[in-house]
Amino acid sequence: MRYAASLSWRASPLILYPPMPRPIKVSIHTAALAHNLDVARRHAPNAKVWAVVKANAYGHGIDNAFPGLRDTDGFGLLDLDEAVRLRELGWAGPILLLEGFFKPEDLAIVDEYGLTTTVHSDEQLRMLEMARLKKPLNVQLKMNSGMNRLGFSPERYRAAWERARAIPGVSQIVLMTHFSDADGPRGIQYQMEAFERGARDVPGERSLANSAATLCYPETHGAWVRPGIMLYGSSPKGLEVPAATFDLQPTMTLETELIGIQEIPAGGTVGYGSIFAAETPMRVGTVACGYADGYPRVAPTGTPILVDGVRTRTLGRVSMDMLSVDLTPVPQARVGSSVTLWGRGLSIDEVAASAGTLAYELMCAVARRVPVHAN
Ligand SMILES: *Cc1c(COP(=O)(O)O)cnc(C)c1O
């Protein structure tokens, strides 16, 4: 657990060791991460895998995700401190910076830690031309094939590749792009056409596929795939193709307990703004989890939640530290009953859909104050 070091409980002889935390915790399921990596390999048996662990492994924690994902071929991320952390954990294989470097001084760290970098702009090419590197550097040269965020246009791609190849410090150059709609109705075709146009005569391995393309478009696999969200047990197709259909297992369970129970009469209201009113007398549970823990405040009445393993619904507005649940289907519930916000037994994709967002955002938003256990 990660909070103890910063607290000053030692100073008071009246406080017992260890301090009692709130009942909330997040569990990271290491074996499920390994299983989901296998699912990616099964779909792309001839490709190497960049396991994407950006944003602190989609909120799981680099330290917690690493043991589950260590059979990967490489790790993809953005933050240099996360790359350094992987080296400290003993990872000697490839690490890809998905946005590359930002300043010339970053290249010293790229060099020191043997990182592979994305190159998507003329500015980065110029920085590489000026750099004095100790070791040759592997590069993924990014094409903007239609998403219009980062990369060289198809028309300029060949020239960018020539320029990169001429830099003495640059070793291998992999050809890369990223899909905007591999998970949606527009699909990948418009970008595949642009990519083929720009990269037609350019030699080198290809790196195109995110999770959705890894699962749904084998023609994109190339030498490397870059799955992220699927490794964390969420379906890139959301509820349209549930995670279990892809044989993906949840990797993060957010759980807590009931800390209060109210019997309310017909017409009684629940929480701030009184936005839920009971039509009949009912039992309402108060749950030790709120938006300051990372639960989405916008989740409306009716968002699924488990109490004692029984599926029920949230009621009213989510508070900072608490939310309310309907105990009608769980008459045996009492203070101390277990509550699952998402994870094992309740798909995070369902909760995300109810809140009008994606599992990506929920995973990344779990707050620092929630203790993390890896198991
Ligand atoms: C985040 C990211 C991925 C992984 O995307 P998922 O949808 O999570 O699979 C792959 N490639 C790049 C460049 C990314 O930024």
> How does pLDDT run across 189-222, given as a tens digit for each residue?
999 999 999 999 999 999 999 999 999 999 999 9
Q: How confident is the model at residue 12 (pLDDT cuts 50, 70, 90)?
A: low
User: 283: domain CATH number?
Assistant: 2.40.37.10
Tens-place pLDDT, residues 146-164: 999 999 999 999 999 999 9
Residue 134 falls in the annotated catalytic set: no
Tens-place pLDDT, residues 35-80: 999 999 999 999 999 999 999 999 999 999 999 999 999 999 999 9
Closest C-alpha residue for ligand 1 atom 1: 228
Residue 104 within a domain: yes
**What separation in Å is there between the alpha carbon of 247 and the centre of ligand 1?**
20
**What separation in Å is there between the alpha carbon of 147 and the centre of ligand 1?**
13
Q: Strand pairing of 206-209 and 170-176? A: parallel
Query: Residue 8: its pLDDT value, please?
Result: 52
pLDDT at residue 1 greater than cutoff 50: no
Residues linked to residue 310 through DSSP beta bridges, in sequence order: 307
CB 229 within 8 A of CB 252: no
Residue 10 within a domain: no
| Domain boundary, last residue among 178, 206, 234 | 234
282 belongs to an annotated ligand binding site: no
**What separation in Å is there between the alpha carbon of 52 and the centre of ligand 1?**
7
| Domain boundary, last residue among 234, 262, 280 | 234
**What separation in Å is there between the alpha carbon of 100 and the centre of ligand 1?**
14
Residues 82 and 114 in one domain: yes
3-state SS string over 133-191?
Answer: CCCCEEEEEEECCCCCCCCECHHHHHHHHHHHHCCCCEEEEEEECCCCCCCCCCCCHHH
Give the position, in ligand 1's atom list, of the atom nearest the Cα of 118: 13
pLDDT at residue 5 greater than cutoff 60: no
Number of domains in the chain: 2
pLDDT at residue 6 greater than cutoff 80: no
User: Cα(127)–Cα(118) distance, rounded to whole angstroms?
Assistant: 13
Containing structural domain, residue 59: 30-234
| Residue to probe by mutation, ligand 1, list 52, 119, 246, 362, most atoms within 8 Å of CB | 52
Q: How confident is the model at residue 4 (pLDDT cuts 50, 70, 90)?
A: very low
Residue 11 within a domain: no
Residue 287 within a domain: yes
What is the pLDDT of the chain when averaged over all its residues?
95
Query: Residue 17: its pLDDT value, please?
Result: 65
Q: How confident is the model at residue 2 (pLDDT cuts 50, 70, 90)?
A: very low
Query: Residue 10: its pLDDT value, please?
Result: 55
Residue 18 within a domain: no
**By C-alpha distance, which of 118, 93, 101 is closest to 176?**
118
Residues 217 and 321 in one domain: no
Question: Which is catalytic among the residues 17, 134, 272, 295?
Answer: 272
Residues 260 and 317 in one domain: yes
CB 162 within 8 A of CB 203: no
Residue 113 falls in the annotated catalytic set: no
Q: What share of the chain is helix, strand, coil (3-state, %, to 5)?
A: 30, 25, 45
Tens-place pLDDT, residues 290-330: 999 999 999 999 999 999 999 999 999 999 999 999 999 99
pLDDT at residue 18 greater than cutoff 90: no
pLDDT at residue 280 greater than cutoff 70: yes
320 belongs to an annotated ligand binding site: yes
Q: How confident is the model at residue 21 (pLDDT cuts 50, 70, 90)?
A: confident
Instruction: Kindly list the protein residues whose Cβ atom lies closer than 6 A to any atom of ligand 1.
Output: 52, 54, 98, 178, 210-211, 226-229, 236
Residues 67 and 184 in one domain: yes
Residues 190 and 263 in one domain: no
SS3 41: helix
What distance separates the 2 farthest-apart alpha carbons in the chain? 77
Question: Which is catalytic among the residues 54, 157, 232, 360?
Answer: 54
pLDDT, average across residues 255-266:
98
